[in-house]
């Protein structure tokens, strides 16, 4: 039997216009949903290309099957990278896991799992370092030296940013507790001030009513008592050094204003520091 090679098997492959993922379009189908980004497109809007899947060569009685694995790998990597850019980290993780299963020698699959599990090195809240380190061991074993050094720098910067976030989170918790204490103190002072204000108003009304019912002969005495009472009501301290009703009201007003200023400063500081440390800084790639 003479040597011969058959023509490569061809099949039509559609490409998602949103993420570039491969689509399978059935004959006569009008709409298709992307299995990666779940975008629904009209079949007339998707792009088609010829994709060489498998080559068969015959030599005598032996048949050799050669898979075009490189192109399949690059397609998987491209689709996974697109999902990372779109923020679809769950879909990216599925693709990267497929890469590590079918192409474990390619570091991009393992590094992709690092990216998808850390939301592209941006999630600083409770990263699972045991899992991340297990992925990194595979990156370390498969990546070329120069690329490995570059990726190590990125991972170190991310680890430092997470550590700094944990440090700030402890301080933030302390500041929040202080803020809650000040807010509670302000509320207590305001309640006390309200009671004193009602006492002062009530005392004034009683004096007015008493004057109205006093006879003409006792009116001078009533006026003198009123003046003395009002004087005692409005001075800050009595003869024993204790705050009077009005003295407590004025003191409470000062204390409330002080609490408001401290609360405003604390909130401003928390907001400013949050903007710095809530997420790790952007890492150049």
pLDDT digits (tens, 9 = 90+) for 128-168: 888 999 999 999 999 999 999 999 999 988 888 787 777 77
pLDDT at 90 (0 to 100): 92
Residue 83 and residue 41 share a domain: no
Residue 232 and residue 267 share a domain: yes
151 within a domain of the structure (yes/no): no
Residue 222 and residue 126 share a domain: no
57 within a domain of the structure (yes/no): yes
Rounded Cα gap, residues 214 and 130, in angstroms: 87
Residue 76 and residue 28 share a domain: no
* Domain count of the fold of the chain: 3
Rounded Cα gap, residues 38 and 25, in angstroms: 14
Residue 201 and residue 273 share a domain: yes
Q: How far is Cα of residue 21 from the mean position of the Cα atoms in its chain? A: 28
158 within a domain of the structure (yes/no): no
282 within a domain of the structure (yes/no): no
33 within a domain of the structure (yes/no): yes
Q: What is the pLDDT of residues 9-42, one digit of tens each?
A: 333 457 676 655 677 777 777 788 877 667 777 7
User: Listing from the earlier edge strand, what are the strands of the sheet with 54-59?
Assistant: 4-5, 54-59, 62-67
Residue 201 and residue 268 share a domain: yes
Classify residue 119 by burial, with Cβ atoms within 10 Å: 0-12, 13-18, 19+.
middle
157 within a domain of the structure (yes/no): no
Global model pTM greater than 0.85: no
Q: Which two tokens stand for residue 122?
A: 């941006």
Residue 196 and residue 271 share a domain: yes
Q: Which two tokens stand for residue 161?
A: 């940013």
Domain span at 194 = 173-277
């Amino acid at each position: 039997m003479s040597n011969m090679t058959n023509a490569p098997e061809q099949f039509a492959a559609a490409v998602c216009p949103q993420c570039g993922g491969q689509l399978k379009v059935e004959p006569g189908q009008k709409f298709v949903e992307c299995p990666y980004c779940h975008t629904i497109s009209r079949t007339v809007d998707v792009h088609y290309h010829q994709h060489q899947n498998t080559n068969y060569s015959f030599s005598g009685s032996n048949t050799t099957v050669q898979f075009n694995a490189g192109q399949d790998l690059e397609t998987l990597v491209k689709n996974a990278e697109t999902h990372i850019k779109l923020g679809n980290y769950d879909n990216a993780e599925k693709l990267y896991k497929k890469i590590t299963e079918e192409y474990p020698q390619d570091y991009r699959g393992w590094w992709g799992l690092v990216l998808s599990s850390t939301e592209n090195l941006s999630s600083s809240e409770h990263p699972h370092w045991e899992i991340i380190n297990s992925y990194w061991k595979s990156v370390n074993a498969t990546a070329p030296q120069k690329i490995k050094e570059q990726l190590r720098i990125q991972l170190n910067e991310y680890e430092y940013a997470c550590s700094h976030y944990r440090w700030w989170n402890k301080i933030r918790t302390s500041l929040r507790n202080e803020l809650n204490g000040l807010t509670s103190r302000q509320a207590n002072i305001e309640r006390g001030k309200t009671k004193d204000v009602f006492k002062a108003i009530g005392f004034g009304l009683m004096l007015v009513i008493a004057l109205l019912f006093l006879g003409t002969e006792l009116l001078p005495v009533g006026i003198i008592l009123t003046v003395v009472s009002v004087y005692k009501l409005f001075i800050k301290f009595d003869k024993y050094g204790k705050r009077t009703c009005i003295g407590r009201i004025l003191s409470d007003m000062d204390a409330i204003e002080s609490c408001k200023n401290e609360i405003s400063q604390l909130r401003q500081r928390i907001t400013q520091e949050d903007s710095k440390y809530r997420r790790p800084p952007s890492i150049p790639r």
